[in-house]
């Protein structure tokens, strides 16, 4: 295998396409358990290079008012350097260069969307309150104004209200016009922190509050039965854990029982405790807990996440969080959260860091998992789009820069390799606990699965909206309606399965099956405890499920 050659699956991909759902599901899940997505090794080098360029870009902007790169050891933890890191990260993300970019998110040619869509009139958008679903010249102009405003702030020798007010206004305004943009900017982190820079005398306290909330709610979101399957999926796909015995140990009895083993479950509990322990330890530092303990726990947490290179690839965001821990908590341990003021900003932070995440955990169907800070939990809203025959060709009517993902890969590989690699997209969804609803829902959605082309909702969002990062609400009914208006699918040509997150303290997953032309087909709920007894590919409960050997 060359550096750019994906690892072939242990089945014939072109024959796999003709098999029924349970056979395809089982074969692809068994392959994922040992080989993950099968990404070429060279791809990880590309992502490392991107992280390097991200850090280099920050250092370049720091040359305006902070210090030259040759003296980075003297200024890297300075307040202005941190401010520039936040503003640069927002610019990097809203351009589409960070989360959700590259081959690990089914982006090959081009490797990112973002600005290619957001700055182009006529592309599809999702307005917050309904209305026009294609981007106008004004939409594109406001987006470009945001980029200019960010660059203006970054090259300034200071960063306060005078430099930041256009960004503070444009980010939420653009979010109303297209909620994709607000999420792509990672506004729950970067924009909220910029508000602190602009409106707080002691903004370090506000920035600390934001970062503590990120860790805390991420830990809370893992208090469920979904996270053990995330550990399995990540370990089976990580570039540094390519050891058959370790990957088999993640499952109860490979290949017959691919539910999480005791080891995977223990690792998930440890990870949850670590994620909750990091903010708690930082909070206890002023009371005598050694700050080095909190830093070690933080590095363990983000080192594990980053080394696994999770699908969605939020590598730059993890780098920013680690840097934030050093720049905020290590460099300024004396700054207390009690310094959060004036009161309007304190109320704003309570809403964004407490009320919104709490509501997003209790009623996840109403609030994005990003705003709720439910990171890496495996408990997300998601969808699968099923296209009859070659009806997916109607998507060419959309104005976009990314071709159908199969067509992207055909520019790089032959037909067999293309279908072999993309067959793993199905297993990625099935291997999570929530994906076990699919053996029950696919037969409800279509009569003959073999006649349909499978498209993960994440891939559909990337194709139609220019950005995707685990936010299932971006590819639910609102996007379907926009696509249908522009493409005109006939009844039965496009069926979508939409699944919501499990609410905190809830016991079920809600689902809907929708036809693009005729609307709702069926809806219901499934108990999560029942899903825990099923295999990813099986319509029957039990340790091996239906169709087992």
Q: Over the stretch 117-173, which tens digit does the pLDDT of each residue have? A: 999 999 999 999 989 999 999 999 999 999 999 999 999 999 999 999 999 999 999
Query: Which residue(s) pair with 522 in the sheet?
Result: 513
Give tens-digit pLDDT for 31-56: 999 999 998 889 999 999 999 999 99
DSSP code for 534: B
Q: Give pLDDT, residue 545.
A: 54
Hey, what are 53's tokens? 């360029």
Q: How far apart are CA 323 and CA 546, in angstroms?
A: 48
Give tens-digit pLDDT for 514-548: 999 999 999 999 999 999 999 999 876 655 554 33
- Any idea of the CA torsion for 472, 428, 495, 483, to the nearest 10 degrees? 50
Q: What is the pTM of this model?
A: 0.95
78-89 b/e (C-beta count within 10 Å ≥ 16 → b): bbbbbbbbbbbb
Task: Say what percent of the chain tops pLDDT 90.
Answer: 93
Give tens-digit pLDDT for 64-83: 999 999 999 999 999 999 99
Mean pLDDT over residues 430-438, rounded?
A: 97
DSSP code for 238: -
For the cut 60, the answer to whether the pLDDT of residue 549 exceeds it is no
Q: What is the mean pLDDT of the chain?
A: 95
Domain ranges of the chain: 13-38+376-531
Nearest Cα neighbor of 499 from 433, 547, 417 is 433
DSSP code for 395: G
């Amino acid at each position: 295998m060359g550096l750019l050659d994906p690892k072939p699956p242990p089945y014939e991909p072109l024959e796999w396409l003709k098999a029924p759902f349970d056979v395809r599901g089982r074969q692809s899940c068994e392959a994922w358990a040992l080989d993950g997505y099968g990404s070429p090794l060279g791809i990880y080098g590309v992502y490392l290079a991107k992280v390097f360029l991200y850090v280099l870009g920050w250092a370049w902007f720091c040359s305006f008012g902070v210090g030259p790169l040759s003296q980075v050891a003297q200024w890297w933890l300075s307040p202005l350097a941190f401010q520039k890191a936040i503003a640069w990260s927002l610019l990097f993300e809203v351009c589409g260069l960070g989360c959700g970019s590259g081959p690990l998110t089914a982006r090959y040619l081009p490797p990112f969307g973002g600005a290619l869509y957001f700055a182009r009139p006529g592309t599809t958008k999702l307005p917050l309150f309904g209305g026009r679903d294609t981007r106008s010249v004004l939409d594109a102009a406001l987006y470009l104004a945001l980029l200019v405003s960010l660059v203006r702030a970054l090259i300034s020798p200071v960063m306060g209200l005078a430099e930041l007010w256009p960004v503070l206004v444009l980010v939420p305004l653009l979010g109303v016009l297209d909620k994709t943009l607000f999420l792509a900017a990672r506004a729950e982190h970067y924009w909220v922190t910029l508000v602190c820079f602009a409106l707080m005398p002691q903004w370090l306290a506000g920035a600390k509050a934001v970062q503590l909330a990120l860790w805390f709610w991420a830990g809370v979101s893992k208090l469920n039965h979904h996270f053990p399957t995330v550990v399995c999926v990540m370990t089976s796909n990580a570039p540094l854990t390519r050891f058959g015995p370790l990957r088999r140990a993640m499952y109860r009895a490979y290949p017959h029982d691919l539910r999480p083993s005791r080891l995977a479950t223990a690792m998930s509990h440890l990870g949850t405790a670590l994620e909750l322990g990091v903010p708690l330890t930082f909070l206890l530092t002023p009371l005598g807990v050694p700050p080095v303990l909190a830093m070690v726990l933080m590095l363990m947490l983000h080192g594990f996440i980053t080394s696994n290179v999770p699908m969605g690839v939020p590598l730059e965001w993890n780098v920013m969080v680690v840097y934030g821990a050093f720049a905020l908590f290590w460099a300024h341990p004396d700054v207390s959260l009690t310094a959060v003021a004036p009161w309007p900003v304190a109320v704003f932070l309570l809403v964004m860091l407490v009320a919104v995440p709490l509501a997003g955990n209790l009623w996840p169907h109403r609030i994005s998992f990003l705003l709720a800070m439910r990171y890496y939990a495996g408990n997300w809203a998601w969808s699968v789009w099923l296209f009859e025959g070659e009806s997916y060709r109607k998507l060419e009517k959309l104005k976009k820069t990314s071709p159908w993902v199969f067509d992207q890969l055909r520019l790089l590989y032959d037909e067999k390799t293309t279908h072999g690699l993309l067959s793993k997209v199905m297993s990625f969804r099935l291997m999570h606990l929530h994906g076990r609803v699919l053996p029950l829902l696919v037969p409800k959605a279509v009569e003959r699965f073999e006649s349909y082309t499978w498209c993960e909702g994440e891939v559909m969002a990337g194709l139609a909206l220019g950005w995707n990062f685990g936010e299932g609400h971006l590819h639910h009914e609102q996007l379907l309606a926009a696509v249908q208006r522009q493409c005109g699918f006939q009844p039965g040509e496009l069926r979508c399965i939409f699944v919501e997150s499990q609410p905190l303290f809830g016991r079920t997953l809600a689902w809907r099956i929708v036809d693009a032309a005729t609307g709702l087909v069926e809806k219901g709920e499934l108990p999560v405890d029942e899903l825990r007894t099923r295999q990813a590919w099986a319509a029957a409960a039990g340790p091996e499920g239906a169709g087992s050997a």
